[in-house]
Amino acid sequence: CGYMREKILSMLKEHKDEFISGEMISNKLGISRTAVWKHINNLREEGYEIESMPKNGYKLLNCPDVLTLEEVEEYLNTEFIGRNIYYFDTVDSTNIKAKELAMEVEEGTVVIAEEQTKGKGRLGRDWLSPKGKGIWMSIVLKPQLPPSEVAKLTLIGAAAVSKALEEIGIESYIKWPNDIIVQGKKICGILTEMSCELNMINYVIMGIGINVNLENKDFSKELVDKATSLKEIIGHSVDRKKLLGAILNHFEDLYIPFKNAGDISKVINISKEKSILIGKKIRIIQGETERTGKALDIDEEGRLIVEYEDGTVDSIFSGEVSI
């Protein structure tokens, strides 16, 4: 049944904006015209807009705005990132779901939800994830590398998002290590979590949240001044499928050299080029301590180089930074 649904949908997609006769579908698939008609109605219920005319048959006009593999596939040119998508309408957190699945799925599997009821930021903070308005996803990664390398993955994620935004004409900045900023406000956050042994990563869950079509009214009072969405920036809705495809494509492109040869040179270049911190006075919070200094550079390992007020220079792996 699912198989026939898929076949019919791909036939309709191949002839998008053209009529295709019910008879042709029924002959090709060896099912009755009534069965075809039932599948068409089910597809309509899923949100596919299909016109029907007694003589001409069926014509696909519009596909629903959902981030299923079926809908995103045409934008993907990856080998393994996003080739397996677990799609949910609503979950607590895609990172939590991804962790449950991680051991049994292949590397590159992506968990996506239209809505998260307990979206997570770092250090137990919340991540606002209203239904159908963002890209809330987690990528399962299994690089055969020591756990100390994992911080670099966040930089790969940030670089991939920033590059994908560039592709749709949006200039963004990376606030090392895990935020993407557009017009001074946060548009994307990344939460990287891992499971590891002493010397070996079991898996990494890279959670990426992007505010795509949220409106100002979707943000709380506290958030509205520091967060924004692509829709607010551009003034109209953005195609989530296309953007998701672009992110996954860039991600794989940057991830493969890292996974195979530990090479993140391209990522570092992007991180520096798009850095919002370099040259600025910053505050760095690491655990209980808070210090001020100036961000000087990002080194080849992805560490932020900071000059503290007393003149000492240090490079940091991770931390909470504000301008």
Where does this chain bind ligand BT5 (CB under 6 A)? 93-95, 116, 119-123, 125-129, 136-138, 178-179, 186, 189-191, 207-209, 211, 223, 227
CB 309 within 8 A of CB 270: no
Q: What whole-number distance in Å separates Cα of residue 112 and Cα of residue 91? A: 9
CB of 221 to ligand BT5, least distance (A): 12
Nearest residue (CB) to ligand BT5, 28 versus 118: 118
- A 10 A CB-CB count for 159 gives 25
Nearest residue (CB) to ligand BT5, 113 versus 145: 113
Nearest residue (CB) to ligand BT5, 119 versus 143: 119
Query: Smallest Cα–Cα separation from 216: which of 135, 137, 136, 133?
Result: 133
CB of 126 to ligand BT5, least distance (A): 6
Omega before 147 cis (within 30°)? Answer: no
CA distances from 291 to 59, 276, 312 (A): 62, 18, 12
CB of 34 to ligand BT5, least distance (A): 42
Q: Kindly report each contact of residues 70-76 with a partner whose C-beta sits within 8 Å and lies 24 or more positions away, as own/partner.
A: 70/6, 70/9, 71/241, 72/241, 72/244, 72/245, 74/245, 75/241, 75/242, 75/244, 75/245, 75/246, 75/249, 76/245, 76/248, 76/249
CB of 199 to ligand BT5, least distance (A): 27
CB of 114 to ligand BT5, least distance (A): 12
Give me the residue whose beta carbon is nearest to ligand BT5.
189
CB 194 within 8 A of CB 211: no
Nearest residue (CB) to ligand BT5, 75 versus 127: 127
Contact partners, residue 51, CB within 8 Å, separation at least 6: 58, 59, 61
Strands 57-62 and 49-53: antiparallel
Nearest residue (CB) to ligand BT5, 95 versus 109: 95
CB of 229 to ligand BT5, least distance (A): 8
Nearest residue (CB) to ligand BT5, 43 versus 271: 271
Nearest residue (CB) to ligand BT5, 20 versus 153: 153
Crossing angle, helix 265-273 and helix 240-261, to 10 degrees? 130
CB of 140 to ligand BT5, least distance (A): 12
- In single-letter form, the type of residue at position 196 comes to C
CB of 182 to ligand BT5, least distance (A): 11
Nearest residue (CB) to ligand BT5, 43 versus 81: 81
Q: What whole-number distance in Å separates Cα of residue 182 and Cα of residue 169? A: 12
